[in-house]
Structure formats: structure tokens, C-alpha cells
């Protein structure tokens, strides 16, 4: 049988121990893989590689396309970049797939019936790291949501549900507030959900959705959501399942993938042969399915479930009364190897059907885009920050080509006719539209900017206002 070549990184802390355990189980199960090892983590950071990975390792990762990674220790102090974020974004690993399960009655859990998968968008949203301090008082971060990015992750979630025999996909957003960004994700979800009539679908607002996830996690099946919400939800889900140490995760792109445990490098227990290798093992099982080795994935997963059932437990899941015997990393690994070929009797055995998720983003005609105005942001603190003074001043300074329609402060309309109670910062958004009600031109915007600058206004940013196929592509202000 042709061997599949992957890349393996042993990481720091308990990383080498749990990676050795995982590789030993893969070997005993005759998984048809071979591997190249790469160094990552603390030693590289300390030798001056600010990303924690050397340039030669990228070639190996790219060549093998699949990386099995143990946790690393991020040194304290500034200047170090997150290796995980670097790997995800550099290799275009757009989907973060985190299965969360409870294994009651063999592993204590406050919610025995949990069996869900959180599929988190991995590259966009507030994680693009585009932040600015614009005035003395105000900072901003850009939340970017793209149509192709949304389509890809949502389609991935439905394809995942089909491949793994799951029944429902739940989308979570905050589109009652962020109507354009989260609203787009929700609309794409509804469009794609209609193409999967065999899978149930629903949408929940993230705040109530997160509350339900904490209170009744067993009600969820597949959840697809944006980057930040997914980050928070997966920690809530792992926490309520009672088994953070048993959780694995996959970061999947169109061409490459990285598999790793959810937990960190646990330096407090490193080198003591007490770490639980399950998180990394579950990730390796996800990897085998990804590589098309469903039968080997099944063999290992069922042996692992049988081991949990037998009550042979590592220290972090050992409980008096529930467990039979507390074992270290080596003995737990041996127990799993001994049970290869067994199926669990009480827990549900897993059956993977194999198959690969391939996403081809549909091409879509770009919408007709018309420039219909401009929001000009000012840093302004004169005249006791009186919005009426600013409004009248701008009206005097502006070109006759433009009309000032409103000023907002932190999104609240303060001119014309603001309320005296509104608190004003030094950060103002001033909306201009063409005076003749016609389409605007960028040249006219530059004329306006030049005029305002000439009158002493400090412009910190502009945002063009567009319509797309006639539909407004910008939000209205509160109170507008």
C-alpha cells in the first residue's frame, strides 16, 4: 500500500510525549503514513525566529500538505507572533473544525449527551489584525467579512454534515446589529442551506445561541460561525463537555491541513509521563479521515473509546468511583494498542465513510457598484465639542457640489438635531452626498477633502458610500 507522507512537529512541554504516544498508536494500527519531522516552538522563538518556525520547515509543510502538530510553549514577553495564526493564514486553512463530545458515564460530564462540531471561519472577521488609533480617544479594528470566505466556510459546514451523517447545521451571527457584515454571512447561509434539503438548518443570534450552548449543549449538532464567535463558542463547548483534554481540532484549507489538540503544552506536567495523549490522538484520527484512511481512523477511535469504557484513565479524567485504574501516558497508550480491533459496548462506536470535502467557490457576477456619497471622519475637539458648531462650520466650508446629511459620534446622530445627553468623543463621522442627488465622483470627493483641510479640519479617514445593484452598501446611523 502506498504510504502517505505527512509532517510531524513534536512541540514543547508535554508535546513530545503525547506525539510519541500518538505515533506509536498509528504505527500499531498500521496507518499507512510516513513522516518528516520539523522543529517548531520555544527553541526557535528563543533563537530569533519571531514566528516560532524556521524557513526550511515551510517547504516541508507545503510539500507534504498535512501537518500533525503538538502544542508549543509561547515564550512570555512581547515580539513573538502566534505560530497558530501564522500557519492558518499563511497556508489558507480557512476552516477550524472542533468536535466536542462527552463520554459519560465513563468520563464525568455535567452534560452527558454532547456530540457537536463547531466549524469556525479561520481567516477573516476581527482577526485580520487591522487596528488603528485614530484620535487621542478613539481606536478601531476592521471587521472584514468576504462573500467567498463566507460561502466557503458555510458550504464546508454542510458538506461536513453530509460526510459525517449529521442532521442539522446552526449558523450563529449578530446580524440584528451588524446587518451588513454578519448579515451577509447569514444571507449566504440561507442561500447555501437551501441547496442542502437533506440537512436541517437554523440561525441563532450569537448571544442567545451561546447561552443555549452553555445551558443545553446536547441540543446542537454542527455550528458554523464567524472567527471570533467560533473562538468563544469552542471554549464554552469544551468547558461544558468537561473534557478539554480530550478535544482535537483540524484546520483545513483547499489544499493543506493542520491537526492539533485543543490544549496547550502543559509545562507543569511535562516529562512526568502523566499527560493525556487523547486530544492529539483525536486530531490524528481527524487527519486519517482527511487522508482517506477512514477504516484506520475507525479502528483507533473505537479502541480509544473501549479504553475509556474499561475505566483505564489518565490522571486528568480519573475520578474515584467512575474510573478503575489511573495510568500514565505510556500505559494509557499501551491500553489503546491492546484494544485495537475492539468496539465500545456502551458508547456509540464510530463509523467513518471516508470521502473528502472539496469546495469550489461558485463564481458570481460582480454587482453594479455606484458611488453615492462619502463618510469623512474627523478628529475635532473645538468649541466644547458642540456638534452644531461643527455642522454649521462644515456646511460653510463644503463645496456646493455636496450636502452634509448628518454627523455622528460613535455611531449616534448628533447633527442635525442631536440630543444634549449624547456623550461626544473627539471622533466624528460626517456624511456627505452629492447636492444634486446624482451620482458622486471620486474627483469631487478629493475637492471636498481639499476644501475641508483648507478650513483646518483634520481628516483621519474617509469611507466611500456605494450602492450595489441599487442596494445600500453602508449602514445608517442610530437616530438617522
Return residues touching ligand NAD (CB under 6 A).
14, 18, 71-74, 84, 245, 260, 263-269, 275-276, 279, 316
Between 18 and 387, CB nearer to ligand NAD: 18
Three-class secondary structure of residue 201 per DSSP: strand
Cα 289 versus chain centre, distance: 21
To the nearest whole angstrom, how small is the minimum distance from the Cβ of residue 206 to ligand NAD?
23
Of 437, 365, 446, give the one whose Cα is nearest residue 403. Answer: 437
Q: How far apart are CA 160 and CA 105, in angstroms?
A: 28
What are 160's three cell numbers?
461536513
Between 11 and 434, CB nearer to ligand NAD: 11
Whether the ω angle into residue 118 lies within 30 degrees of 0, i.e. cis, is: no
Between 74 and 296, CB nearer to ligand NAD: 74
Cα separation values, 336 from 84, 103, 169, 259, 299, Å: 29, 16, 33, 20, 10
Between 263 and 290, CB nearer to ligand NAD: 263
To the nearest whole angstrom, how small is the minimum distance from the Cβ of residue 84 to ligand NAD?
6
To the nearest whole angstrom, how small is the minimum distance from the Cβ of residue 338 to ligand NAD?
21
To the nearest whole angstrom, how small is the minimum distance from the Cβ of residue 51 to ligand NAD?
13
Specify the residue for cell string 533563537.
47
Q: Which residue has its beta carbon closest to ligand NAD?
A: 264
Three-class secondary structure of residue 387 per DSSP: helix
Three-class secondary structure of residue 169 per DSSP: strand
To the nearest whole angstrom, how small is the minimum distance from the Cβ of residue 64 to ligand NAD?
19
Three-class secondary structure of residue 148 per DSSP: helix
Of 57, 59, 119, 67, give the one whose Cα is nearest residue 94. Answer: 119
Helix, strand, coil % in the chain, rounded to nearest 5: 35, 25, 40
Beta-sheet strands, E only, within 344-397:
369-379
Between 145 and 266, CB nearer to ligand NAD: 266
The answer to whether 75 and 14 are in contact (CB under 8 A) is no
Judge residue 412's burial from the number of C-beta atoms within 10 Å of its C-beta, 0-12 exposed, 13-18 middle, 19 or more buried: middle
The residues, ordered by sequence, that sit 6+ positions from 8 with a Cβ below 8 Å of its Cβ are 19, 23, 35, 36, 37, 38, 67, 68, 69
Between 263 and 427, CB nearer to ligand NAD: 263
Give the up-direction half-sphere exposure of residue 148: CA atoms within 13 A in the CB hemisphere.
Answer: 12
Between 18 and 68, CB nearer to ligand NAD: 18
To the nearest whole angstrom, how small is the minimum distance from the Cβ of residue 244 to ligand NAD?
7
Between 245 and 373, CB nearer to ligand NAD: 245
Nearest-10 Cα torsion for 316, 320, 321, 325: 70
Q: How far apart are CA 248 and CA 234, in angstroms?
A: 11
Between 204 and 241, CB nearer to ligand NAD: 241
Between 335 and 414, CB nearer to ligand NAD: 335
The C-alpha R_g of the chain, in whole angstroms, comes to 27
Between 251 and 296, CB nearer to ligand NAD: 251
To the nearest whole angstrom, how small is the minimum distance from the Cβ of residue 402 to ligand NAD?
51
The answer to whether 314 and 2 are in contact (CB under 8 A) is no
Amino acid at each position: 500500500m502506498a504510504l502517505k507522507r505527512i509532517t510531524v512537529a513534536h512541540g514543547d512541554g508535554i508535546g513530545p510525549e503525547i506525539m510519541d504516544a500518538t505515533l506509536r498508536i498509528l504505527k500499531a494500527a498500521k496507518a499507512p503514513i510516513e513522516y518528516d519531522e520539523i522543529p517548531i516552538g520555544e527553541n526557535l522563538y528563543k533563537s530569533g525566529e519571531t514566528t516560532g518556525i524556521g524557513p526550511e520547515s515551510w517547504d516541508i509543510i507545503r510539500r507534504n500538505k498535512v501537518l500533525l502538530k503538538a502544542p508549543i510553549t509561547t515564550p512570555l514577553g512581547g515580539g513573538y507572533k502566534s505560530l497558530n495564526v501564522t500557519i492558518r493564514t499563511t497556508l489558507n486553512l480557512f476552516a477550524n473544525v472542533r468536535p466536542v463530545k462527552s463520554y459519560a458515564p465513563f468520563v464525568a460530564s455535567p452534560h452527558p449527551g454532547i456530540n457537536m462540531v463547531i466549524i469556525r471561519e479561520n481567516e477573516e472577521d476581527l482577526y485580520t489584525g487591522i487596528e488603528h488609533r485614530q484620535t487621542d480617544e478613539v481606536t478601531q479594528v476592521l471587521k472584514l467579512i468576504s462573500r467567498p470566505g463566507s460561502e466557503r466556510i458555510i458550504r464546508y459546514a454542510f458538506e461536513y454534515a453530509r460526510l459525517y451523517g449529521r442532521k442539522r447545521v446552526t449558523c450563529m451571527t449578530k446580524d440584528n446589529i451588524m446587518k451588513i457584515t454578519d448579515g451577509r454571512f447569514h444571507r449566504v447561509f440561507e442561500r447555501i442551506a437551501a441547496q442542502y434539503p437533506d440537512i436541517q438548518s437554523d440561525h441563532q443570534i450569537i448571544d442567545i445561541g451561546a447561552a443555549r450552548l452553555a445551558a443545553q449543549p446536547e441540543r446542537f449538532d454542527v455550528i458554523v460561525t464567524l472567527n471570533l464567535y467560533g473562538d468563544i463558542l469552542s471554549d464554552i463547548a469544551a468547558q461544558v463537555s468537561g473534557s478539554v483534554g480530550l478535544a482535537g481540532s483540524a484546520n483545513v484549507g483547499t489544499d493543506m491541513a493542520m491537526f492539533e489538540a485543543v490544549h496547550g503544552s502543559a509545562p507543569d506536567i511535562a516529562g512526568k509521563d502523566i499527560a493525556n495523549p487523547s486530544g492529539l490522538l483525536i486530531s490524528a484520527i481527524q487527519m486519517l479521515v482527511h487522508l482517506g484512511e477512514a477504516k484506520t481512523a475507525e479502528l483507533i477511535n473505537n479502541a480509544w473509546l473501549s479504553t475509556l469504557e474499561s475505566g483505564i484513565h489518565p490522571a486528568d479524567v480519573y475520578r474515584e468511583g467512575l474510573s478503575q485504574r489511573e495510568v500514565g501516558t505510556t500505559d494509557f497508550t499501551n491500553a489503546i494498542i491492546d484494544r485495537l480491533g475492539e468496539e465500545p459496548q456502551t458508547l456509540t462506536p464510530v463509523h467513518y465513510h471516508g470521502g473528502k470535502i472539496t469546495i469550489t467557490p461558485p463564481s458570481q457576477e460582480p454587482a453594479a457598484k455606484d458611488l453615492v456619497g462619502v463618510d469623512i471622519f474627523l478628529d475635532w475637539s473645538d468649541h466644547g465639542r458642540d456638534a452644531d458648531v461643527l455642522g454649521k462650520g462644515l456646511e460653510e466650508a463644503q463645496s456646493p457640489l455636496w450636502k452634509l446629511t448628518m454627523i455622528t459620534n460613535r455611531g449616534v446622530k448628533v447633527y442635525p438635531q442631536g440630543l444634549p445627553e449624547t456623550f461626544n468623543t473627539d471622533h466624528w463621522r460626517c456624511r456627505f452626498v452629492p447636492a444634486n442627488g446624482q451620482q458622486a465622483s471620486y474627483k469631487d470627493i478629493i475637492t471636498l477633502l481639499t476644501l475641508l483641510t483648507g478650513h483646518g479640519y483634520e481628516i483621519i479617514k474617509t469611507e466611500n458610500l456605494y450602492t450595489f445593484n441599487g442596494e445600500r452598501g453602508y449602514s445608517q446611523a442610530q437616530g438617522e
